[in-house]
């Protein structure tokens, strides 16, 4: 179902007033984690001003250490919806367990994080819901596996899937992951689904977000997901890679110009 061979036309999704795919370009921005109502609303207002079309923010966080901040859970989702009410920005947020699915009713896009790309029972269940799914590439998954994970969702009837390339594990240690730019044209060659790129998790380094965003657009990306925090130094998660609102604004100026040009 995901295969371009049988569906030559690009999938185009209408989500919360935004058009995704088919030559339209969208930026999803916001903090790694929702930390408080004030924080997420402040960041939402800033990223909207700079041209972001969606607000991101994790309420359920897949942390390496069980002692690290795990997210505000249902409280976090509530704050995201408050931020949506304030700004009108549709919400993208990660699901980690099927047990929480009911809490995601008012979310606009459900994110499946890298660590759950092959959680097949989760994918199958999301295949039965009527919501766009942002599917992130696993830390060490091939593109064939990535395509098959989309197929798992689509096989259940939900054809609203967006791929997100977020870097893969390689021997390189200077960046958090290695952004696989070739994934963009390859995914778009083999499937008709929108492909976005997350340069924040791909690099782990704020100043690499701009060049890799521009590279992703040159490779045909349908959008970007960028982490922005009002005070990165104090962030409870991924502060080291987060842009300040001012840095994000500067990146957006370049990104918007290049997206219009390509
Ligand atoms: C995230 O988007 O906050 C996240 C946890 O990303 P990934 O699943 O790509 O590591
Ligand atoms: Mn993060």
Q: Tell me the pLDDT tens digit for each residue of 98-128.
A: 999 999 999 999 999 999 999 999 999 999 9
In-domain check, residue 44: yes
Q: Is residue 121 part of a domain?
A: yes
Please give the number of the atom of ligand 1 that sits closest to the Cα of 114: 8
What DSSP element (H or E) covers 83?
helix 74-87
72 belongs to a structural domain = yes
Read off the pLDDT of residues 64-105 as tens digits, 9 standing for 90 and up: 999 999 999 999 999 999 999 999 999 999 999 999 999 999
pTM score, whole prediction: 0.98
pLDDT of 261: 87
162 has pLDDT over 90:
yes
Domain coverage including residue 233: 13-261
pLDDT at 55 over 90: yes
Domain assignment of residue 1, yes or no: no
Residue 134 domain-assigned (yes or no): yes
pLDDT at residue 144 tops 90? yes
Residue 21 lies in a domain: yes
Select from 260, 6, 12 the least CA-distant residue to 160.
Answer: 12
Q: Is residue 227 part of a domain?
A: yes
* 201 C-beta closer than 6 A to ligand 1: yes
Say if residues 90 and 17 touch (Cβ distance below 8 Å).
yes
> What are the two backbone dihedrals, phi and then psi, of residue 191, each rounded to the nearest 5 degrees?
-135, 170
- Which atom in ligand 1 lies closest to the alpha carbon of residue 62? 5
Say yes or no: CB of residue 194 within 6 Å of ligand 1. Answer: no
DSSP string, 107-122: -SEEEE-GGGTT-HHH
Partner residues linked to 24 by β-bridges: 21
* Domains: count for the chain: 1
Q: How far is the CA of 56 from the centre of ligand 1 (A)?
A: 11
Does ligand 1 lie within 6 Å of residue 137's CB atom? no
CATH (domain of 30): 3.20.20.70
The reply to whether 179 falls in a domain is: yes
Residue reference for tokens 């079309």? 53
């Amino acid at each position: 179902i995901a295969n371009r061979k049988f569906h030559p036309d690009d999938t185009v999704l209408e989500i919360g007033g935004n058009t995704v795919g088919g030559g339209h370009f969208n930026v999803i921005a916001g903090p790694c984690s929702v930390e408080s109502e004030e924080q997420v609303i402040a960041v939402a207002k800033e990223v909207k001003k700079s041209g972001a079309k969606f607000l991101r923010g994790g309420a359920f966080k897949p942390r390496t250490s069980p002692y690290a901040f795990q997210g505000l859970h249902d409280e976090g989702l509530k704050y995201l919806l408050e931020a949506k009410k304030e700004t009108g920005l549709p919400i993208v947020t990660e699901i980690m367990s099927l047990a929480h699915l009911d809490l995601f009713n008012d979310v606009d896009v459900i994110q499946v994080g890298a660590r759950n790309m092959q959680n097949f029972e989760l994918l199958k269940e999301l295949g039965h819901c009527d919501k766009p799914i942002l599917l992130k590439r696993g830390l060490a998954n091939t593109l064939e596996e990535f395509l098959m994970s989309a197929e798992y969702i689509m096989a259940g009837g939900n054809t609203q899937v967006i791929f997100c390339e977020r870097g893969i594990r390689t021997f390189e240690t200077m960046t958090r992951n290695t952004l696989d730019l070739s994934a963009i044209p390859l995914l778009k060659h083999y499937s008709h689904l929108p492909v976005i790129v997350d340069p924040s998790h791909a690099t782990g380094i704020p100043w690499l977000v701009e060049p890799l965003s521009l590279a992703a657009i040159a490779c045909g990306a349908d959008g970007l997901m960028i982490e922005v925090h009002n005070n990165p130094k104090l962030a409870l998660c991924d502060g080291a890679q987060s842009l300040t609102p001012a840095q994000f604004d500067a990146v957006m100026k370049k990104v918007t110009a290049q997206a219009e040009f390509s």
